[in-house]
Structure 1
């Protein structure tokens, strides 16, 4: 039996094993994702998120800026260390064109601000716990944002790309849980694309997209294929032009050119001869009359005012319109009691017993609409326990058939 190792030697051996694992891990990561692949993913994400920022602006009515992304290979432990605050994970499934799943990670406070702005608030003081209403609202926002991003990818890859409705989950990274229940690819190494998200003066934070390596490779493959096709299209006309020039040089043989003496004709003499010949044959150049004069030389032009027959409007009005052919056409008649405007925030607070104030005063005439157009005014009456309308005034418009 050999000599026993000291504690220092054992520690040295363990450190050596850890170093070997780190080296192997680094080599594996470099083989999986090259710098070219990182650039491709970053470019696709940059174009997609640029379109998504425009969509988010229309939802929150605030200036939205999403900066150039940073691409890296990470593990779930890296996310927990760098993103310790409570967050929301939005799962996005690509179902057409590209098949795969990715996660969009937002901080909980940012989600509250975005949903508050969507509901008509100012987003300055979002309070309370994150509710199902917040999760539903942020899912709809991400559905529109990533949907517009998928449209940009469709144009980029020249094929239709579509997503399923996103699903939002609240995550507390300070507590331990099985991350594979959120997404299976979080159990190993995956790709993180980090953005800086700015919404007016309310949000200045980090947003992340997490991709499984297989799905990221599909994106880079599509991007590379599209780029190669564009380069081939650009090179093909140049190559064809070069071949054509070479063929022309091979087939063309220089021929000796005869030397001829050429005398410049007198243009005035040619014109006078042509006009005389035309007059003799009964033909004149355009713009000349039979006397050989241009219109500018003509005189004594008689101009008279145009005479129009008078139009008898009375006889037309007195004609009886024949509408027998459309007498049995059904029309939708609507009686409108009043209208009002409410924000999404106010509508979500509706409950049994809520009173909604309309823009009509008590006793004011009620509008009667036919196919969406007001045709009469009336008052509400009750006949045999049914609400009815008694027409008090007919609104006539020019050319309207009542």
Structure 2
């Protein structure tokens, strides 16, 4: 689905950050929010074990965007992590981190205290971020496997730095719709920031469909109940306060 498929009123609503049922239904929105809670809750636990600091990734905030709007909203360089789902689900999503946040995480991974975190990220730093994200999203895929009751796997993520003001994050049409999910990310007195997830609309709908199909109706509380019951123990053990909020 692209901007040319929408009416001008729908495009205006999109640019105001409003959901429209022709893009995502409330049921799909609830399902995606619950899946985001599950995967990023597990990811927070995994990152916490990597850097030995308490990590909170809290309640997701969903909206619809396009690459054109991203350039307007976030005209800065960011670390872009491309995650490809290869089994159970077939598609991709992107994680977007601020350069400074990625730098602090890398320094913690390397045993530093963040006082000498790198100002710029080289290939070694990006490789370290890629490994952290591989473990984080791999554990998230394991949680999704439990919820969907089918194996979900990812390939090792690719990592790069992109200036969103100048480059497209993907070689898609500028009008292609993306689900934008923004989380608050807090790391034990070091980071209080945001991490953003971008999902192509078709893949987002596919993912939501799997969860909705498990319960057969649109009750948001039932979506949460089902996913919670299916979560593995490691997901339920997210550090206190981890649930997830938004990237400037």
- TM-score range relative to shorter protein: 0.7 to 0.9
In the alignment, what sits opposite 1:199?
Answer: 187
In the alignment, what sits opposite 1:171?
Answer: 162
In the alignment, what sits opposite 2:92?
Answer: 101
The answer to whether the 8 Å contact 1:88/1:171 transfers is: yes
Equivalent residues in 2 for 1:63-78 (5 A)?
63-78=54-69
Shift of 1:83: 2.5
Using structure 2 for the length normalisation, give the TM-score: 0.78
In the alignment, what sits opposite 2:206?
Answer: 218
Shift of 1:192: 0.4
Shift of 1:116: 0.7
Provide Cα deviations, 1:169-217, integer angstroms capped at 9, x if missing partner: 101224x234434xx3765111001100011111111111100111111
The answer to whether the 8 Å contact 1:97/1:162 transfers is: yes
Q: Distance in 2 between matches of 1:217 and 1:186?
A: 20
The answer to whether the 8 Å contact 1:185/1:212 transfers is: no
In the alignment, what sits opposite 1:345?
Answer: none
The answer to whether the 8 Å contact 2:55/2:187 transfers is: yes
The answer to whether the 8 Å contact 1:180/1:186 transfers is: no
Q: 1:24 to 1:187 in 2, by over 3 A?
A: closer
Q: 1:145 to 1:74 in 2, by over 3 A?
A: same
Equivalent residues in 2 for 1:326-341 (5 A)?
none
Shift of 1:152: 0.4
2:164 counterpart of 1:180: no
Question: What RMSD in Å do the two structures reach over aligned CA positions?
Answer: 2.1
Gaps of 5+ in 2: 1-5, 223-248
Shift of 1:96: 0.2
The answer to whether the 8 Å contact 2:68/2:175 transfers is: no
Shift of 1:107: 0.5
Which one of 11, 22, 30 corresponds to residue 8 of structure 2? 22
Q: Distance in 1 between matches of 2:78 and 2:67?
A: 14
The answer to whether the 8 Å contact 1:102/1:210 transfers is: yes
Q: Distance in 2 between matches of 1:185 and 1:90?
A: 19
Equivalent residues in 2 for 1:2-401 (5 A)?
22-25=8-11, 26=13, 29-174=20-165, 176-181=166-171, 184=172, 187-228=175-216
SS in 2 for 1:30: coil
Q: Distance in 2 between matches of 1:187 and 1:124?
A: 41
The answer to whether the 8 Å contact 2:100/2:119 transfers is: no
Provide Cα deviations, 1:237-286, integer angstroms capped at 9, x if missing partner: xxxxxxxxxxxxxxxxxxxxxxxxxxxxxxxxxxxxxxxxxxxxxxxxxx
Q: 1:72 to 1:97 in 2, by over 3 A?
A: same
Q: Distance in 1 between matches of 2:174 and 2:32?
A: 19
The answer to whether the 8 Å contact 1:102/1:209 transfers is: yes
> How many pairs align?
208
Q: Distance in 2 between matches of 1:30 and 1:187?
A: 18
